[in-house]
């Protein structure tokens, strides 16, 4: 129960360090190859066999969820990481707007593995990545280059019962910083009148941040903690005369308050 000491600058490497470097590389390779095969073979075949687009999309989303779950189990089996999920139930509800911080590259993999039929909002540049384009398009994921189109498409998904996953930090957070969100999620929440389910992701020790390469594995296997917080209610857009942009700012303050509470209570 003693309070944690700050980590020394170069903690002693634990376990099979070089094995973990190899296993991480294997993980990345698996991911890339699976993406490529899905894009080049799996999805074109699916398109030929299943004509109905809604069914196509549902199957791809199901496939992505299954693959991500398999993937994190595989890298856990290889000794690269461990994880725990606190209160995953709200993630499986229909039409939930799920908003998470973004400390590492694997956040979306963990989240989507827990969410059936998830629709993700992803960086537009990923749609230009040949390894990912096919799967992203077939899964009906949404790019973020045109903000209004993004909001419309996301609101449509919520109305149809698909959970929508957003990382409003836009880019991976630097370690030891409180998450700073853009207002995209607050905008979607107010315009679609949908409460926000906040998810706080923590990875100890930090890894795969923006400034690290895949082979820079931490001194010990990392542990992911995924905490699903209480729903953040949405401001009622029907009452009052304030412009939407003002309501969005109020909603943004609310979301940040919810997150700050989660971050602070989740700290050692």
Partner 1 sequence: MHADNIHTSNRTHLTGMTSNNLNSQEEILATLRGILEEMFETDPDAVVPAALLYDDLDIDSIDAVDLIIRLKDLTGRKVSPEEFKAVRTVGDVITAIEKLLRN
User: Among 116, 175, 182, 266, which residue sits at the site for partner 1 (rule: CB under 8 A)?
Assistant: 182
- Number of alpha carbons in the 13 Å side-chain half-sphere of residue 225: 13
- Give one word for 161, left, alpha or beta, with left for phi > 0 and alpha for psi -120 to 50: left
**How many residues lie near partner 1 (CB under 8 A)?**
14
Cβ proximity to partner 1, 86 vs 146, nearer residue: 146
Cβ proximity to partner 1, 29 vs 253, nearer residue: 253
CA distance 38 to 45: 9
CA distance 107 to 203: 9
Helical segments of 139-266, H only: 147-159, 184-192, 244-266
CA distance 189 to 221: 36
Cβ proximity to partner 1, 8 vs 243, nearer residue: 243
User: Among 246, 253, 257, 260, which residue sits at the site for partner 1 (rule: CB under 8 A)?
Assistant: 246
Burial 27-63 (b: 16+ CB within 10 A, else e): beeebeebbbebbeebbeebeeeeeeeeebbbbbbeb
Cβ proximity to partner 1, 48 vs 238, nearer residue: 238
Q: Which of residues 183-212 bind partner 1 (CB under 8 A)?
A: 183-184, 187
User: Among 202, 249, 254, 261, which residue sits at the site for partner 1 (rule: CB under 8 A)?
Assistant: 249
Q: Which of residues 2-61 bind partner 1 (CB under 8 A)?
A: none
In the bound complex, what is the minimum distance in angstroms from residue 158's beta carbon to partner 1?
Answer: 17
Cβ proximity to partner 1, 20 vs 191, nearer residue: 191
Q: In terms of Cα–Cα distance, which of 226, 165, 168 is closest to 194?
A: 165
With beta carbons less than 8 A apart as the criterion, state whether 124 and 137 touch.
no
User: Among 8, 9, 77, 243, which residue sits at the site for partner 1 (rule: CB under 8 A)?
Assistant: 243
In the bound complex, what is the minimum distance in angstroms from residue 163's beta carbon to partner 1?
Answer: 21
Q: Which of residues 91-150 bind partner 1 (CB under 8 A)?
A: 147-148
Q: Which of residues 149-178 bind partner 1 (CB under 8 A)?
A: 151
In the bound complex, what is the minimum distance in angstroms from residue 183's beta carbon to partner 1?
Answer: 6
Q: What does the block give as tokens for 37?
A: 């095969």
With beta carbons less than 8 A apart as the criterion, state whether 93 and 187 touch.
no
CA distance 105 to 102: 8
Q: Would you count residue 238 as binding partner 1 (CB under 8 A)?
A: no
Which residues contact partner 1 by CB under 8 A?
147-148, 151, 182-184, 187, 241, 243-246, 248-249
């Amino acid at each position: 129960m003693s309070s944690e000491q700050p980590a020394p600058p170069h903690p002693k490497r634990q376990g099979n360090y070089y094995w973990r470097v190899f296993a991480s590389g294997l993980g990345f390779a698996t991911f890339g190859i699976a993406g490529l095969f899905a894009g080049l073979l799996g999805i074109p075949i699916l398109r030929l066999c299943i004509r109905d687009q809604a069914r196509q999309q549902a199957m791809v989303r199901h496939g992505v969820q299954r693959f991500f779950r398999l993937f994190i189990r595989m890298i856990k089996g290889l000794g690269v990481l461990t994880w725990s999920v606190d209160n995953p139930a709200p993630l499986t509800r229909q039409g939930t707007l799920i908003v998470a911080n973004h400390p590492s590259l694997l956040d979306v993999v963990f989240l989507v593995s827990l969410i059936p039929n998830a629709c993700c909002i992803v960086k537009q540049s990923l749609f230009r990545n040949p390894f990912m384009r096919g799967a992203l398009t077939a899964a009906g994921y949404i790019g973020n280059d045109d903000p209004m189109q993004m909001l419309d498409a996301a609101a449509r998904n919520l109305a149809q019962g698909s959970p929508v996953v957003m990382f409003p930090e836009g880019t991976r957070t630097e370690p030891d910083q409180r998450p700073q969100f853009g207002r995209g999620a607050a905008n979607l929440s107010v315009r679609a009148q949908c409460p926000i389910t906040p998810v706080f992701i923590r990875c100890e020790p930090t890894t795969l941040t923006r400034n690290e390469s895949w082979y820079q594995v931490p001194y010990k296997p990392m542990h992911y903690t995924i905490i699903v917080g209480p729903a953040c209610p949405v401001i009622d857009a029907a009452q009052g005369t304030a412009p939407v942009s003002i309501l969005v700012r109020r909603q943004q303050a609310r979301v940040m308050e919810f997150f700050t509470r989660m971050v602070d209570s989740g700290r050692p």
